[in-house]
A and B are shown apart, each in its own frame.
Chain A
Amino acid sequence: EPEVTQTPSHQVTQMGQEVILRCVPISNHLYFYWYRQILGQKVEFLVSFYNNEISEKSEIFDDQFSVERPDGSNFTLKIRSTKLEDSAMYFCASIASGTKETQYFGPGTRLLVL
């Protein structure tokens, strides 16, 4: 069964460093998402991406964050200058099309900012 993959599974970085989290959505999917889950808290929406542009973003998704689909398969989340509070599990999700389709989630990248 097709699945969303994410790399790396774990990332440790120093505060102020840039990180890039990578996702490979399911191949025929058209809508892509990033969510994050701070330890012990709920999963929060960050951004949605369709047709090579951001379709919606949350308050969390400030100028430090950016997303890109550099080729036909990868979908990346970049944090330019990480802060301690960026430590979280980051989930990528994708959806085929239409409003009734299921979002398929990747296994997540656990980011720790020291």
Chain B
Amino acid sequence: AQSVTQLGSHVSVSEGALVLLRCNYSSSVPPYLFWYVQYPNQGLQLLLKYTSAATLVKGINGFEAEFKKSETSFHLTKPSAHMSDAAEYFCAVSLTGGGNKLTFGTGTQLKVEL
């Protein structure tokens, strides 16, 4: 079985500040890890994914995440927040060879202030 924990249901940053959204996972086998973003009234858009290649993964819109096996973490970062980054962010895990079912975290609502 796999699970995902996202610490902080709401995160608020100033425009231009570092964005850090936390995700820890639990998995009995090497996982695949994903970050999805959901803008209001829209579906889920993939930001980036880790599938056992490079541990530092770069995604769209300047986001990146680092897979740290020792910490069972996959935190999402962006050096400089933009107003357009305001959205809900979901971390998700699937098992390798597990039929690709995604297990999501509870989400983090990112607010960007002027």
Residues on A facing B (Cβ under 8 Å): 4, 31, 33, 35, 41-45, 48, 50, 55-56, 91, 93, 95, 99-108
Contact = CB atoms under 8 A, between A and B. Distances in A.
A99 B100 contact: yes
Given A42-B107, A107-B42, A99 B98 contact: yes
Given A45-B101, A100-B51, A105 B106 contact: no
Contacts of A102: 34, 46, 49
B104 to A, nearest CB: 4
Interface in B75-111: 90, 92, 94, 96-107
Contacts, number: 61
A50 B90 CA distance: 25
User: Nearest 4 pairs between A and B by C-beta?
Assistant: A105-B44, A107-B43, A43-B104, A100-B51
A55 B99 contact: yes
B45 interface: yes
A41 B6 CA distance: 13
B74 interface: no
A33 B90 CA distance: 17
A33 B101 contact: yes
11 contacts: A33-B102, A42-B105, A48-B101, A99-B32, A99-B94, A100-B32, A101-B100, A102-B49, A104-B46, A105-B44, A106-B43
A95 B49 CA distance: 14
Contact of A103 (B51, B102, B107): B102
A8 to B, nearest CB: 14
Nearest to A35: B102
Given A100-B32, A102-B49, A107-B42, A48 B104 contact: no
A19 B102 CA distance: 25
